[in-house]
Amino acid sequence: MLPAKRIDELLKHTGLRKNSLATKLGFVNSGIFNHILSGRNGISPNLARKICGVYPEISEIWLLSGNGDMLYPKHSTVDNEAIGQQLKGIFTQLEKLNELHEKVDDLQKAITSLTKN
């Protein structure tokens, strides 16, 4: 896919026009995009980094080469409440295990004491 097509896809994804995207990326005007869309220039690594800095879901490799997908796959959402409940259960089990370990130590001491007599 040519750089101009990738910029078109990026503009569609962001819902912005060239000038708005240029401003969002810190450029004074859309000249950088005009040069890419006309075929005069490609997408530089610096521009790709700026775009990905603002839009982290965009693949830098795709911007630079056209290889792969434009968007990174969505990550599954983390259920913090479920993780918290699981951790609570783990800590409860660890406390019980420590209590049992102490009882075993006490029993071993009692056995040792009885066998000495």
pLDDT digits (tens, 9 = 90+) for 14-48: 999 999 999 999 999 999 999 999 999 999 999 99
CA nearest 10: which of 24, 25, 21? Answer: 21
User: What does pTM read for this prediction?
Assistant: 0.61
Task: From residue 94, give the alpha-carbon distance in Å to each of 28, 72, 98.
Answer: 59, 39, 6
Domain containing 17 equals 3-65
pLDDT for residue 93 is more than 80? yes
Task: From residue 96, give the alpha-carbon distance in Å to each of 84, 92, 101.
Answer: 18, 6, 9
Q: Which of 65, 88, 104 is the last residue of a domain?
A: 65
Place of tokens 């969002």: 24
What's the chain's Rg over C-alpha atoms? 30
Report d(CA 19, CA 38) in Å as an integer.
15
Query: When comparing pLDDT for 97 and 12, which is higher?
Result: 12
Specify the pLDDT at position 70.
92
Structural domain total, the chain: 2
CATH of the domain at 54: 1.10.260.40
Report the run of H or E that residue 37 belongs to, with start and end.
helix 31-37
Q: Which of 43, 65, 87 is the last residue of a domain?
A: 65
Q: Are residues 82 and 110 in the same domain?
A: yes
